Structure 1
Amino acid sequence: MAKAESGKALNQTRNDTPGNAKAASIATLNALLVDIIDTTNATRQAHWNVKGSHFYGLHTMFEKFYEMLAEQTDELAERAVQLGGMPDGTTQTVGAKTRISPYDPNLLDGLDHCRALAERYAQLARHLREGIDKVDEAGDADTADLITDVSREVDKSLWMLEAHLHGQG
């Protein structure tokens, strides 16, 4: 039986993705899961605390973003399970393993939130593209396709954040 990168044996599944591809994909999915949960939490922080003349539009946009991220989180976690893995999105794991920069909990101004989120969405997007390459190299086209879908959604959100910052320097 193949083992995931963590050394844990994979759960039984009839999914015929090769064992080495499963292990690489599960490890990649778990790393991305941590990053997307952290980005979701940063987006919620912005949603809860945004102030200023753009309040309503940004409050609404941030809510749509964290809802989209929650859906994508579920897709990534479920793919890990489909491959025989065990997703780990606990608060402790996210805090210990995130690759996303810490979010300033004291931000209030809407455009400051846009700048901070744009930085983190760009980080997440980079990690997603790296993940696509890793699982594709390992031979798991289905997981690469799933991560590509997530990447497109994150890129779209990044574009919208950057549009709010146009002309801001």
Structure 2
Amino acid sequence: MLSTSKRWASMKSDGSYYSTRIDLAPEVQVEIIEILNRTLASTIDLWTQVNCAHWNVKGMQFFSLYQLFEQLAEQLNYFATLVGERIVALGGVALGTARTAAQFSEIPDYRLSSREGQGYVLLLAEQMAVYARSVRSSIEIAQGLGEANTADLYTEISRSTDKFLWMLEAHVQT
């Protein structure tokens, strides 16, 4: 396995990374870019899952859930943009294709047997909880690497993710 600095040099030469004047050690840049690309994959995967729920939801709570899922999809699209732009700002390549997302996402497969609203809510709450844990873990990693800007980006995502998780869970709590 290549050391981080050797990996940085080899990736720069194959076009995976670009020079930047951001004052982070190359090793930190590489590690942060890798973490951000994993987050990008998970965000895109979750975004597609939320869109499926948005398009297919049925039942008594159809309209309110349709709107909630639409808002969540819009927020995830915004997160993907923030993460992708941060990757590029740090000198990386944002790997934001559907195939890359499927390969590297930390979100479990989309499995749903019910088309009723509560089934979608429960599924998305589980998926959001996985995403929230991953984002919180990424905050700690970025802080540990001394990369406050990326930690701040993850904190913004975490706050909003927690809010949407609360909104999903409120639909099934009594």
Same fold at TM > 0.5: yes
Task: Read off the aligned partner of 2:127 and give its amino acid letter.
Answer: R
1:34 pairs with 2:37: no
Q: Please, which of 8, 11, 14 is the counterpart of residue 11 of structure 2?
A: 8
Identity of aligned residues (%): 37
Task: Read off the aligned partner of 2:31 and give its amino acid letter.
Answer: A
Q: Distance in 2 between matches of 1:90 and 1:109?
A: 30
Offset of 1:145 from its aligned partner?
A: 0.4
Aligned position for 2:157: 150
Q: Distance in 2 between matches of 1:55 and 1:4?
A: 50
> Gaps (5+ residues) in structure 2?
none
Aligned position for 1:84: 91
Alignment of 1:15-164 (within 5 A): 15-104=22-111, 106-164=113-171
Paired residue secondary structure (1:93): helix
Aligned length: 166
Offset of 1:91 from its aligned partner?
A: 1.5
Kept in 1, the 8 Å contact 2:62–2:117? The answer is: yes
Kept in 2, the 8 Å contact 1:4–1:27? The answer is: no
Paired residue secondary structure (1:104): coil
Kept in 2, the 8 Å contact 1:13–1:83? The answer is: yes
Structure 2-normalised TM-score?
0.90
Offset of 1:117 from its aligned partner?
A: 0.1
Kept in 2, the 8 Å contact 1:49–1:107? The answer is: no
**Aligned CA distance change for structure 1 residues 11 and 115 (closer, same or farther; 3 Å):** same
Q: Distance in 2 between matches of 1:156 and 1:4?
A: 38
Q: Distance in 1 between matches of 2:7 and 2:172?
A: 42
Q: Distance in 1 between matches of 2:160 and 2:142?
A: 19
Structure 1-normalised TM-score?
0.93
Q: Which piece of structure 1 moves more, 39-48 or 102-111?
A: 102-111
Q: Distance in 1 between matches of 2:172 and 2:126?
A: 12
Task: Read off the aligned partner of 2:104 and give its amino acid letter.
Answer: K
Q: Distance in 1 between matches of 2:124 and 2:77?
A: 16
| RMSD, aligned α-carbons | 1.7
Higher RCO, 1 or 2 (CA under 8 Å, sep at least 6)?
1
> Gaps (5+ residues) in structure 1?
none
Offset of 1:107 from its aligned partner?
A: 3.6
Q: Distance in 1 between matches of 2:108 and 2:140?
A: 22
Paired residue secondary structure (2:11): coil
Offset of 1:42 from its aligned partner?
A: 0.6
Kept in 2, the 8 Å contact 1:35–1:100? The answer is: yes
